[in-house]
Amino acid sequence: MSQYSHIESPGILEGSVPLSPINWHYISGFFDGEGSITVETRHESGVLIIFLTISQKYRPLLEEIAQFLKLNGIDCKISRNSPTVHEIRVRRIESICKLLTRMSLSLKREQALATVAYYDGRITGNQLLEVFDLEFKAGKRRSTPLKPGANYPLTHSEAVARARRTRATAARARNLIQTKGYLVEMLKRLPSTFVTADVASVFGCPWQSARYSIRKMEANGLVSCRKVGTRGWGKLVCTKVTAGREGHEDMG
């Protein structure tokens, strides 16, 4: 039996009945009340990043829960979330699926099913976000991961495969961009005045790679660039040096 089975949780469960021994029934109830399934959206890769947390003020109790999870093959770590709150965090996909499958959830049941289905390749990222948004509207989540313009049409494995291909293409492009001759050939496919979005569209590369290419062209004296706007890095408007004039288009 847990050495903390006689105390009450100092967190959300404060004032409730004494805690039960640490077991799957207890873990399920605890996660339903004080756990969270967080979804991070990364537009560049198209992969949804998901992790689980269980928050509590009393760290020794979390340590016993973490020990129980580890004994059951679930990788997790404890960290301080705020000056008074600690949390267990589960980030590995295998551990996330194992924990969500093993628990018998009530409040977070649909979120758990959708998460496992996404990692299993049975639903797309858009479908997962729709489930989480509906859960938010039903009052079962504090926030929704569904943001305006978000589009994740692939399953997890498809998105990961595409991200790997994109990184490989970007790496090859960076190697080629080191030569001025390749940059000259790139310029032949671009208009006299262009912006970062043009490079990304013509060559099918990520925005960061397009920006890198432009900077290399500028360093080799092939284009003249100016920044428009003050937000973040601003927007680059570039003109081929041979065109003899500065462009006035904004980035699309």
The CATH class, in words, for 178-243 is: mainly alpha
- Give 102-141 pLDDT, tens digit per residue: 999 999 999 999 999 999 999 999 999 999 999 999 999 9
Rounded Cα distance, 123 and 48, in Å: 12
- Give 13-45 pLDDT, tens digit per residue: 443 333 458 999 999 999 999 999 999 987 667
Residues of the chain with CATH 1.10.10.10: 178-243
Burial class (CB in 10 A: 0-12, 13-18, 19+), 132: buried
According to CATH, the topology of domain 24-154 is Endonuclease I-creI (3.10.28)
Residues of the chain with CATH 3.10.28.10: 24-154
- Which amino acid belongs to residue 2? S
pTM: 0.66
CB–CB of 166/207 below 8 Å? no
